[in-house]
Structure 1
Amino acid sequence: MAVLKLYNTAKPFLAVIFLQFGLAGMDILTKVALNEGMSNYVFVVYRHAVATLVIAPFAIILDKKVRPKMTLSIFAKLVLLSILEPVIDQNLYSIGLKYTTATFAAAMCNILPAITFIMAWIFRLEKVKLTSIRSQAKIVGTVATVAGAMIMTLVRGPIVDLFWTKGYVGQEAQSGGLNLSHAIKGSIMITIGCFSWAAFMILQAITLRTYPAELSLTAWICLLGTAEGAIVALVMERGKTAVWAINWDSKFLAAVYSVS
């Protein structure tokens, strides 16, 4: 009985840990694909196209009884949601990832809870009482996450040359690897993307009140995000038909894996 209780208590923490491992893998594969020349705009399109194909069947079947009737108001929110996250956030995050590293980008995303908390407080979705321990903890956490992100941006530590990367890291640094200029550009892109992501989360919570079908909501966002992202990609990569080519390589693996 005690073991079962311990398992039930630890289950949410294990889920979060596995989620972080999944996100770390996504960052690494995305960075590899981008380094091999994949367009970040095309990557966003393929990523959400695959996600639509995976999620849509489950949404059609499992949400059949709970999916409400589509209205113009709900559809307008879905369009805005698909612009905020699949288009703005994902493209800015990918551009920031180009300028930095997978580790740096993942660390910068830690400011997301802080941004979400501030925006939720501005829109009166979050109540803050300075005399409350709960509110004090949120404020301290917000300051800590922002401060940590700024340290990652502005402080450059010593090169760690491990035995399996002997000489390679030093050569990369000398050839202009992650420098301060790129780190600042990348962090700005990722930060703006996090603001878009935070707005997406807040609007998503509001939308779920009138459209309480989570899978259908996700499928719609992925579908609309694919269409909107394709328009952006066609504009930004006009005349470059080669960027749409994809084979059984890291580019294809990154697009498929990122759905998880």
Structure 2
Amino acid sequence: MMQMEEQEESVRGETGRVKREKVYEELKPYIYCIFSNFCFAGYSIISKIALEKGMSRYVLVVYGHAFGTLATALLAFLFERKNDSKISVPILRDVFFLGLLGAVLGRTLLYAGLEKTTPAIASALGNLTPTMTFILALLCRMEKLEISRRGSQAKILGTVVAFAGATLMTLYRGIAVISLHTRSSHQHVSSSKLFLDRDSIKGSVMLGASYLSLSAFYILQTATIKMYPAPITLTSLTCLSGTFLSAIMAAILDHEASSWRLSWNITLLAPIYSGVVIYGITIYLQMLAIIKKGPVFITAFRPLATINVAIMGLFILGDALYLGSVIGATLIILGLYATLWGKEKEKQDKLSEQTVCVEESIEIK
């Protein structure tokens, strides 16, 4: 009897362990995405502080990509050293343009826009990236648009709503909804102009251009990874290309040798965080999530970073939340989810059509 009870307990313990492992495997992609968006939120705040401390945006791009090259090269050695894919001239050409789009245009314009706006606005406008990517994919004939289908209608509606939100955030400030300023400074904030000043509008436009460049980056990356199916190695090569190209840009536009000096403060933390945490850890975790759930799944978590940035900006930087930003960010997020729903709807329709075709062919046979 004692042996039977011990066996039953052993079986129950093994069953419980298997169930816990299954639950953990199911939760992994969610944990990866949530952690990644916290990292992205920290990236916006740390970059903003470094820029306010006087760090050159051009130098920040160079050092960030340099640390990113080292971090991703280590990951590539650990996980992709058995990669047999050969690097051809077309792949090198694409790597060059990926460095140009990602580092020279994408990151430099992002930092330029961040200098003139707030991390909350930068993160909220970042939710336009899937919408911009969809438009570019449509122009490149990588996506099809059938107006009669509900999925396509949802994507069009989502695109319009998202851009309406972006326009509102770019032009309209409104009253301060939440502010942690003192009473005198709060009165100053409340009595500020309802519409953004020229610098803020310029910064928002720069951010929009940055995300457009990053959308083009994702389109080219999708095409390149089909030719060179080693994502971590490709990321490392892209960071290396971005390092060289941004170093040339920095040498032309920033002639001060003091700009390149790193101290034991935020000027060292910002590029290390950008290179190691964002290009290394976060991108790797997102790849693991994409393998299990697909790219649409990780995109759905983007608004989480926006909320995190708004909260962190409020408490760390003392940035007030304005009505225009809240309404604009809400519209962008609604537009994002409409676009994602439309894309998922189209996938389901295609799968059901393929199933019907297969069943009809079986019946004919």
Give the TM-score normalised by structure 2. 0.65
* Equivalent position of 1:83 in the other structure: 100
Matches within 5 A, 1:215-226: 215-226=232-243
Mapped to 1, the partners of 2:272 and 2:128 lie a distance apart of: 26
* Equivalent position of 1:253 in the other structure: 269
SS at match of 2:176: coil
Mapped to 1, the partners of 2:173 and 2:78 lie a distance apart of: 51
Q: CA RMSD in A?
A: 2.5
Contact kept in structure 1, 2:106 and 2:210, CA below 8 Å? yes
* Equivalent position of 1:46 in the other structure: 63
Q: Quick one: which of 145, 153, 156 aligns to 1:139? A: 156
* Equivalent position of 1:68 in the other structure: 85
Mapped to 2, the partners of 1:170 and 1:255 lie a distance apart of: 37
Q: Quick one: which of 173, 176, 181 aligns to 2:198? A: 181
The higher radius of gyration belongs to 2
Q: Which amino acid aligns with 2:271?
A: A
Indicate how the Cα distance of structure 1 residues 172 and 222 shifts in structure 2: closer, same or farther if over 3 A, else same: farther
Contact kept in structure 1, 2:102 and 2:213, CA below 8 Å? yes
* Equivalent position of 2:176 in the other structure: 159
Q: Quick one: which of 95, 118, 129 aligns to 1:101? A: 118
Matches within 5 A, 1:198-209: 198-209=215-226
Q: Which amino acid aligns with 2:254?
A: E
Query: CA shift at 1:181, angstroms?
Result: 1.0
Q: List runs of 5+ in structure 1 lacking aligned partners.
A: none
Mapped to 2, the partners of 1:168 and 1:252 lie a distance apart of: 32
Deviates more, 1:118-127 or 1:143-152: 143-152
Q: Which amino acid aligns with 2:115?
A: K
* Equivalent position of 1:119 in the other structure: 136
Query: CA shift at 1:93, angstroms?
Result: 0.6
Q: Quick one: which of 190, 196, 211 aligns to 2:228? A: 211
The count of aligned residue pairs is 258
* Equivalent position of 1:33 in the other structure: 50
Mapped to 2, the partners of 1:10 and 1:167 lie a distance apart of: 47
Q: Which amino acid aligns with 2:268?
A: F
Q: Which amino acid aligns with 1:257?
A: Y
Give the TM-score normalised by structure 1. 0.90
Provide the identity percentage.
38
Provide Cα deviations, 1:45-64, integer angstroms capped at 9, x if missing partner: 01111111111022134222
Q: Which amino acid aligns with 1:249?
A: N
Q: List runs of 5+ in structure 2 lacking aligned partners.
A: 1-15, 278-365
* Equivalent position of 1:244 in the other structure: 260
